[in-house]
Amino acid sequence: METRIAAVIGASGLIGSAIVHELLQNSTYSEIRIITRRSLQFQHEHIREVIVDFENPVDYKKALEGCSAIYCAVGTTNKKVKGNKDAYRKVDYQIPVQAAQFGEELGIPYFTVVSSVGANDKSSNFYLQLKGEMESKISQFAIYQIAIFRPSMLLGKRNEFRLAEKMASIMFPVISFLFPSKYKPIQAHKVAKAMVQFGNQENKGIHILHYKEILNYCK
């Protein structure tokens, strides 16, 4: 049996942890390599954790050697970085962009990343501009298949409590019919399932998936 390795970056997050779960249910990959700055204590024979300093490009690239696909679901919050935009950029831009760069250099054919609905490198909103810049840069790399997922509000149980998000998650499903489909809230595990399903197919080129497309791949 061919050894195929899927790298997951951001496995501590809502979507990232769900990606790991989905990959474990999938027979495509014999190893799930979690690239992380600290141990996440995953216990499974097919999971291998690789602890890296994401600001050390040599170690970061080495951690991706031998992989067949990269799933990137990193993201931080303004609260976590205490309003430091440079720190925010290091997580939401630098980590995924370097992963794609190393993916190109190592000949990894499949790259899948979580962005955000409304991502636009010309946006006046810092977060949406950052996501747009990340998408634009990643799209420049010569990778066989690049899939950019743009969910709106994510539903699911997080490790940390976010009051505004919790209140919105209660209200939005009730009034979501008032919004265009791409702005509808979605369960994080559905996004993860769609990412894995899409990543298992031969879809050459750059693909951007919103709410409707995500639902098509998580059935």
Could you please report the per-residue DSSP string of 38-91? S------TTEEEEE--TT-HHHHHHHTTT-SEEEE-----TTTTTT-HHHHHII
Would you mind telling me the total number of residues written for the chain in this entry?
219
Alpha carbon of 63 to those of 5, 19, 21, 53, 97: distances in Å?
A: 11, 18, 21, 10, 15
User: What are the counts of helices (DSSP H) followed by strands (DSSP E) for the chain?
Assistant: 8, 9
pLDDT of residue 161: 46
As to burial, measured by CB atoms within 10 angstroms (0-12 exposed, 13-18 middle, 19+ buried), residue 161 is exposed
**Topology at the third CATH level for domain 5-216:** Rossmann fold (3.40.50)
- Provide the whole-model pTM: 0.90
How far apart are alpha carbons 9 and 40 in whole angstroms?
A: 12
pLDDT of residue 74: 97
Tens-level pLDDT at each residue, the chain (219 residues): 467 999 999 999 999 999 999 999 988 899 999 999 999 988 899 999 999 999 999 999 999 999 999 999 999 998 899 999 999 999 999 999 999 999 999 999 999 999 999 999 999 999 999 999 999 999 999 999 999 999 998 987 655 545 445 554 555 555 555 566 788 889 999 999 999 999 888 889 999 999 999 999 987
How far apart are alpha carbons 134 and 212 in whole angstroms?
A: 22
Domain-by-domain residue ranges, the chain? 5-216
